[in-house]
């Protein structure tokens, strides 16, 4: 399922991080396999392509929380320290080790463990990280399976392994990922992962789940930088339909339904207006065609007038042929 809510948070504002923003959330519930994460990554890549970005502009770093769990276990770090350690490790991409060294030490991690850990987490390939993981590592198997699925989806050029990505939120339990701009000038574009225990934390039944959050702030900055931010000047409507008198409103609705069934997005004028206002309205919202229902052509032959707002021409189309006209105009546009 997905949602695009308006979100608020209290913190210092920086470029790409606001106190109020909209966020696309996409989650898959009830699927235990890595297929869920692969589908989520594919959806994210599909969005990037739709807005004109390529794998040269954006990458997605992936890792598994199980990597850090297996490594910390092998280094003798108590399990109850894992979540807090992950939060601190997540900061290492933004601040130097010295900035969190004292916090790591307070958790009982010795200097030697911290150095081993940070060395391992600089790994950029699954093969290199395998040397530090158990022979039957579940983390490595997960990541290898994810990479195979990414290849099947045709998105391998977008995906890269990065052992330093752990995501700061403590509820992640498996695969984690972050989308980033390859110039390195912006914050993370989006991020998510698997959180199999989150629902039961709030009193629900144990349910496997994975998802991501994708805010509007950073992607807007990136699209501006690339010069491909949509203008949003047009409304998205293909046509405006207008009944020239109230008693012809039923005819206008017939025309609108035929146009919509033919694939057109239609704005029906719902209240009495002057024709001059309708044309100005259509021009303001960037609509190509205005469909006028009225006059002798409607009374005598049930024809509508179709005004081309770009070319300036106007033709008459029988209501029975309006669907065919609409389909033809879609193919010509």
Which of the four pLDDT bands, split at 50, 70 and 90, describes residue 333?
Answer: low
pLDDT: which is higher, 20 or 317 = 317
Q: Give strand pairing partners of 168.
A: none
pLDDT: which is higher, 315 or 76 = 315
| Three-state secondary-structure class, residue 201 | helix
Distances from the Cα of 65 to the Cαs of 142, 158, 171, in angstroms?
A: 11, 20, 10
pLDDT: which is higher, 204 or 277 = 277
Average pLDDT estimate for 317-325:
94
pLDDT of residue 16: 67
- Please check the confidence at residue 114 and state whether its pLDDT lies above 80: no
Pairing of strands 58-64, 159-161: parallel
- Please check the confidence at residue 258 and state whether its pLDDT lies above 80: yes
Phi, psi of 309 (to 5 degrees): -75, -20
- Please check the confidence at residue 76 and state whether its pLDDT lies above 70: yes
Single pTM value for the model: 0.76
pLDDT of residue 150: 97
Only one residue has tokens 């989150």, namely 198
Q: What token pair was written down for 241?
A: 């339909």
- Please check the confidence at residue 215 and state whether its pLDDT lies above 90: yes
Average pLDDT estimate for 300-310:
93
What is the rounded average pLDDT for all residues in the chain? 89
141-182 pLDDT, tens digit per residue, is 999 999 999 999 999 999 999 988 876 567 889 999 999 999
| Three-state secondary-structure class, residue 244 | coil
- Please check the confidence at residue 108 and state whether its pLDDT lies above 90: no
pLDDT of residue 128: 86
Sign of the torsion formed by the C-alpha atoms of 242, 248, 249 and 251: negative
Phi, psi of 47 (to 5 degrees): -60, -50
User: Is residue 175 within 8 Å of 210, Cβ to Cβ?
Assistant: yes
Average pLDDT estimate for 13-27:
84
pLDDT: which is higher, 86 or 245 = 245
Percent with pLDDT over 90 in the chain: 57
pLDDT of residue 28: 97
Which of the four pLDDT bands, split at 50, 70 and 90, describes residue 57?
Answer: very high
């Amino acid at each position: 399922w997905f949602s695009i809510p308006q979100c608020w948070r209290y913190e210092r504002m920086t470029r790409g991080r606001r106190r109020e923003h909209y966020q696309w959330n996409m989650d898959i519930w009830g699927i235990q396999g890595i297929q869920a994460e692969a589908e989520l990554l594919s959806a994210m890549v599909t969005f990037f392509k739709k807005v004109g970005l390529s794998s040269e502009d954006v990458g997605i770093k992936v890792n598994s929380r199980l990597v850090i769990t297996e490594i910390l276990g092998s280094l003798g770090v108590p399990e109850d320290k894992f979540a807090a350690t992950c939060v601190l490790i997540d900061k290492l991409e933004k601040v130097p080790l010295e900035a969190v060294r004292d916090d790591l030490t307070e958790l009982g991690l010795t200097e030697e463990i911290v150095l081993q850990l940070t060395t391992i987490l600089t790994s950029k390939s699954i093969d290199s990280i395998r040397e530090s993981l158990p022979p039957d590592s579940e983390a490595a198997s997960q990541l290898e399976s994810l990479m195979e699925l990414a290849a099947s989806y045709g998105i391998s050029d977008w995906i890269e392994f990065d052992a330093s990505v752990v995501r700061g939120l403590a509820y992640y339990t498996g695969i984690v990922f972050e989308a980033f701009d390859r110039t390195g000038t912006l914050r993370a574009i989006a991020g998510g992962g698997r959180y199999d225990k989150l629902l039961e934390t709030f009193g629900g039944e144990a349910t496997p789940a994975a998802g991501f959050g994708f805010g509007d702030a950073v992607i807007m900055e990136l699209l501006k930088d690339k010069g491909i931010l949509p203008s949003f000047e047009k409304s998205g409507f293909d046509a405006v339909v207008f009944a020239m008198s109230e008693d012809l409103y039923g005819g206008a609705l017939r025309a609108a339904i035929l146009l919509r069934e033919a694939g057109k997005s239609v704005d029906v004028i719902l209240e009495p207006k002057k024709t001059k206002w309708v044309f100005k309205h259509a021009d303001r919202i960037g609509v190509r065609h205005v469909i006028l229902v009225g006059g002798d052509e409607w009374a005598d032959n049930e024809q509508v007038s179709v005004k081309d707002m770009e070319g300036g021409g106007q033709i008459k189309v029988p209501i029975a042929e309006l669907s065919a006209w609409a389909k033809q105009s879609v193919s010509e546009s």
